[in-house]
Structure 1
Amino acid sequence: MLSTATFAETAALMGDLARANMMAALMDGRALTATELARVAGVAPQTASGHLALLTDAGLLTMERQGRHRYHRLASPAVARMIESIMSVAGDLDGPGRAGRKRTVVTGPRDQALRYARTCYDHLAGQIAVAMTDRMAERGQIEFTADGGALTTGGTQFLSDLGVDLDAALAGTGGRDSGRTFCRPCLDWSERRPHIAGAIGKALCLCCFDRGWIRRLDGTRAVAFTPAGHAMLGQAFNIAV
């Protein structure tokens, strides 16, 4: 059972600005070195190493060795969901004079590129990801409940025709990604409606990268659509990309 002490410890770890910057930088699903994370956090490499050790010991990060380098990544999709949820709440509260003042609520990131399309840990998020999800739901290709989601037969055929590796997605629900849900809704930070997460969301995102339909924008979680992505995804989902 969760103890309040463990809850408080986790909250305290996320409450440090340098550590929060590091965790946010890892939200695009990539693994980064301590030097790279120190640069993001604006602290010395030695200080960053101390922060990373605390986060790793707490189970929020995992570290992988490759040659002389050590790479750090978020420990699980659950950690990414926690960070996304905190960002969502913080976005609603952000701004000067917020106490006792009515103001227009602007959800999600203010950066238009992030609002349009970004990665949410290992899957796609933003306006386009929600539009893709909406289209699949309208066609009866995916079904969401409060507890999870499922691909229908039509959805399985649609994603397979698109080139999404569903066998790899199914295999990803075990092994290193043990505990991963095959398909689930994820409340979008900016749109406040669901996009596709779980192993299916990851597989769809990987397909888009592998086929050159999207590319990362340096220094941000935002992604841009290539001409091929505009054509292929726009036609497949019948949306304006």
Structure 2
Amino acid sequence: MTEDRQAPQLARLAALIADETRAACLLALLDGRAWTAGELARHAGVAASTLSEHLGKLVAGGLLSQERQGRHRYVRLADPGVAHLVEGLAAQVAPDMARRPRNLRESSAGSAMARGRTCYDHLAGRLGIAVTDALTSRRLLRQDTGFGLTDAGLAWFEDVGIPLDRTGRRPLARACLDWTERRPHLAGVAGAALCRHALDEGWCVRIGSERAVKVTATGERAFTELLSIDAETLR
């Protein structure tokens, strides 16, 4: 039976993720960027040799891709599907993470991540939800039968100057469960294109060493003019 053939594969996948060091690496790589092995080792708080062994397993298991440039080894999530899997699992354990922060730095970082962040290559947190809600209320995005851009939505992306690559197999629009807001935000080709445009145009800037992003004054004006999002919601 198909289920019998899938069971060993599912067990191997679960075993790959069921390690705190490997889980920390996967979560860090949700920022969509390539990290060196050294950077991930420092982030996870383990020796470089230990981290190298973990990365080898994640690459062999198809969760990470790697490339070498000179002395450095860079790794990133293998594809958007892996990011969707990791973010979805994070959303399931979010209620267990609702503890009091240990210090001011941890509190500030947590607040920044909840306010706005990247989820692999699209916007998440309150910012991602605000954008998704605005697109939906303006009938540019449908959520009633799964996420999908309307004809008006396709025209909106074109008018704003955000090209959408519709040649690949990735869905044009897809729901991704937000682990802090517990609601779906926009992912897929459209979500990635909007996030990339926001960063390229200076609507958002990355802050700190995590995935957190901050909406700039330029971004406040753009989101307000284009999607009627209240500026206070973006702060």
Fold shared by both chains (TM-score > 0.5): yes
Q: What are the within-5 Å matches in structure 2 for residues 44-123 of structure 1?
A: 44-94=47-97, 111-123=110-122
Higher relative contact order (CA 8 A, sep 6+): 2
Distance change in 2, residues 1:67/1:163 (3 Å): farther
Q: Is the 8 A contact 2:116 2:212 kept in 1?
A: yes
1:95 Cα deviation after fit: 6.6
Deviations 1:14-47 (A, max 9, x none): 1211111111110110110111111111111111
1:145 Cα deviation after fit: 4.7
Q: What are the within-5 Å matches in structure 2 for residues 180-219 of structure 1?
A: 180-219=170-209
1:218 Cα deviation after fit: 2.2
1:157 alignment partner, one of 155, 158, 161: 155
* CA distance, structure 1, for counterparts of residue 94 and residue 128 of structure 2: 20
* CA distance, structure 2, for counterparts of residue 153 and residue 95 of structure 1: 40
Secondary structure at the counterpart of residue 165 of structure 1: coil
Q: Is the 8 A contact 1:165 1:207 kept in 2?
A: no
Secondary structure at the counterpart of residue 70 of structure 1: strand
RMSD of aligned Cα (Å) = 2.0
Give the TM-score of the pair, scaled to structure 2: 0.86
* CA distance, structure 2, for counterparts of residue 186 and residue 16 of structure 1: 24
Secondary structure at the counterpart of residue 219 of structure 1: coil
Please tell me the residue identity of whatever aligns with 2:17: M
1:235 Cα deviation after fit: 2.0
1:126 Cα deviation after fit: 1.1
Please tell me the residue identity of whatever aligns with 1:239: I
- Structure (1 or 2) with the greater helix fraction: 2
Q: Which runs of 5+ in 2 are unaligned?
A: 100-108
Please tell me the residue identity of whatever aligns with 1:230: E
Give the TM-score of the pair, scaled to structure 1: 0.84
Secondary structure at the counterpart of residue 65 of structure 2: strand
* CA distance, structure 1, for counterparts of residue 183 and residue 197 of structure 2: 23
1:170 aligns with 2:173: no
What residue is the counterpart of 2:32 in the other structure? 29
Secondary structure at the counterpart of residue 210 of structure 2: coil
Q: Which runs of 5+ in 1 are unaligned?
A: 97-109
